[in-house]
Amino acid sequence: MNDVEIKVGIAKAVCLRFINLHEATRRHALLVEFESLNILNEMETRNLIRRNETRDSYLPTIGTFALLGDDHELYQFARIGFERTIRSLWNLFCVEGPNVIHDAANLEIYSNKLFPQPAKAGAIPLGLYLASESGALQAMKLSADQMSVETFWIGETVISMKDPALWWDERIRVCREPLRIYDIAASTEQLFANYDESGTDGTASKAFSNDDFWGLIHEEVVVEARPRFEAGHYADAVEWALKAVAEKVRQRTGLKLDGSELMYRAFAPKSPYLEFEDPMPLTRDSMQQGYMQIFAGTMTGVRNPKVHGMVKLERERCIHFLFLASLLAFKVDEAVDTHPIEPAQKPASAQKPELASLHIAVGNRGMSGDVRTVNVSAVIENISTVKRITEYICTLSVPSSCLTFQSALHRGEIKSDLAGRRSFRRTEIDEGATRIVLPGDKLKVYSLDLGIDQLKLTGTWMEGDFGGALQDKVTLDAVMQGEVLHSELSVREIFEGMV
């Protein structure tokens, strides 16, 4: 078989197993059958197939179906399912608006009412699975095997997809394009040609030729990224490069945080753990603010999509991101360690906030089935008389056992690094968020209902350590324009008078 026949054969095997058996296709089986490691890796890199969570098997993407050809029945099945699903999502968004949680079963019922003829069995679930690649779903909860979408929010992007056939055709065109090969050595030689003629010794161009750009990359990034890069796992290389940066910041600061929250805390202009020096105070403050945003933005915009999404990178873009990670690692080396007192040891008067205050508000009581609930909210208050709050990031952390629907999808939820806890984050740039908090204003940033009676339901899946939960805490952490704030409330205080 030639290369094209091998790609089509792999695509057929993955799609057939997914549609007929609802199973992923093992990488080992594909290697044995088609005997082409390079083609399999190329297809993965171009998102023509994607690995499952265990990393040993493959699931289909829109690109996988694209390789089958227009006349193949599975391609037609996927296209019809996708187009019907997007049209249904478009109608739902227009009628119900954003911020509404939907489930897959109800979408299928809705879709079959929308069209004169009901779709074939499995078409809408497949369409919803493929729609996750289009940006039409703002957030979603996948099944444990990652093969179907269970619940989801519809994203605003869907409003531009009233005719889903146009989006589908463009995506198929891109997937069927031949792989572009970038000659890094040639392009970099040309890039540095004029620079070398100006009198330099050419060290930079030599270091960047072929794969020798590693000589310009921070050594701690090289350790994590190079083996993955050379194996063709470009997204993994970027993810682990940025993990190395985060770990470097943790080691320098002693903070037990991660992601953008770690960076906001470590480089906070008002009380930094790591500070960038400059003799001019105004320049120093601007540098501190700017690099805090670069570090945090990189974790949110580059690393997190690599960790949680189905992101595939080409080699050249991977190199771009590796230089970004390297720059951040070198900047951590340059930063001065200010050794602030650990937050847990700070007296209340050690750092009086100038702009905002933060607290957890206990609100209305209600019922969730037979379980009594209490609403808790994250509240920020602008205590300044003249300044507006235009940047904030708030993280509310609660005991998992106090959520009466522990498996439910919650808007704004992020991965918690602590066992037994769920975390929820809200920033000023989130959809529907208040962008500006004026002097004297209070803003309820996030709220949810907690319960504790369920822990006493003996013999049910909700039964748990009632006494231990009472000793636990709800915590709220925030960074607002450089001010780092913390608030907490015990579960016993929240349920006062109810236990």
Q: Residue 389 pLDDT > 70, yes or no?
A: yes
What is the percent of the chain where pLDDT is above 90? 27
Choice among 45-54, 104-113, 369-378 with the minimum mean pLDDT:
45-54
Q: Which amino acid is at 151?
A: T
3-state DSSP call for residue 482?
A: coil
Contact 395, 264 (CB under 8 A): no
Please tell me the distance from the alpha carbon of residue 145 to that of residue 24, in angstroms, as a whole number: 9
Q: Which amino acid is at 88?
A: S
Residue 405's pLDDT is 59
Residue 311's pLDDT is 52
Q: For 35, what's the count of Cα atoms within 13 Å in the CB-facing half-sphere?
A: 2
Contact 474, 494 (CB under 8 A): yes
Mean pLDDT of 208-218: 71
Please tell me the distance from the alpha carbon of residue 239 to that of residue 262, in angstroms, as a whole number: 16
3-state DSSP call for residue 369?
A: coil
- Token pair, residue 242, equals 């940025």
3-state secondary structure 394-409: EEEEEEHHHCCCCCCC
Which helix (H) or strand (E) element contains residue 236? helix 234-253
Q: Which residue has the higher pLDDT, 373 or 499?
A: 373
Contacts of residue 28, defined as CB under 8 A and 6 or more positions apart, other chains included, come to 56
Which range, 139-143, 170-174, 337-341, is most confident?
A: 170-174
Mean pLDDT of 373-386: 88
Which helix (H) or strand (E) element contains residue 151? strand 149-154
Token pair 């030729």: residue: 209
What is the percent of the chain where pLDDT is above 70? 85
- Token pair, residue 111, equals 């879709």
Residue 410's pLDDT is 63
The pLDDT-based confidence of 83 (bands split at 50, 70, 90) is very high
Of 430, 429, 359, the C-alpha closest to 396 is 359
Residue 353's pLDDT is 67
Please tell me the distance from the alpha carbon of residue 104 to that of residue 124, in angstroms, as a whole number: 8
Distance separating the N- and C-terminal Cα atoms of the chain: 71
Q: Where are the alpha helices (DSSP H) in 53-115?
A: 62-66, 73-96, 104-114
* φ, ψ dihedrals at 164, nearest 5°: -65, -20
Q: Residue 203 pLDDT > 50, yes or no?
A: no
pLDDT averaged over the chain?
81
What digits encode the pLDDT tens for the residues 390-433? Answer: 888 888 899 888 886 544 556 677 777 677 888 888 888 777 78
Of 348, 387, 371, the C-alpha closest to 462 is 371
Beta pairing partners, 375:
449
Contact 400, 389 (CB under 8 A): no
Residue 345's pLDDT is 41
Residue 137's pLDDT is 84
What does DSSP say about strands 413-414 and 421-427: parallel, antiparallel, or unpaired?
A: antiparallel
Residue 385's pLDDT is 82
Residue 31's pLDDT is 94
What digits encode the pLDDT tens for the residues 457-477? Answer: 777 767 788 888 888 999 998
Q: Residue 480 pLDDT > 60, yes or no?
A: yes
Residue 303's pLDDT is 66
The pLDDT-based confidence of 192 (bands split at 50, 70, 90) is very low
What digits encode the pLDDT tens for the residues 253-290? Answer: 888 788 888 898 889 887 888 998 876 677 778 888 88
**Number of other CB atoms surrounding residue 314 within 10 Å:** 13
Of 416, 432, 271, the C-alpha closest to 355 is 271
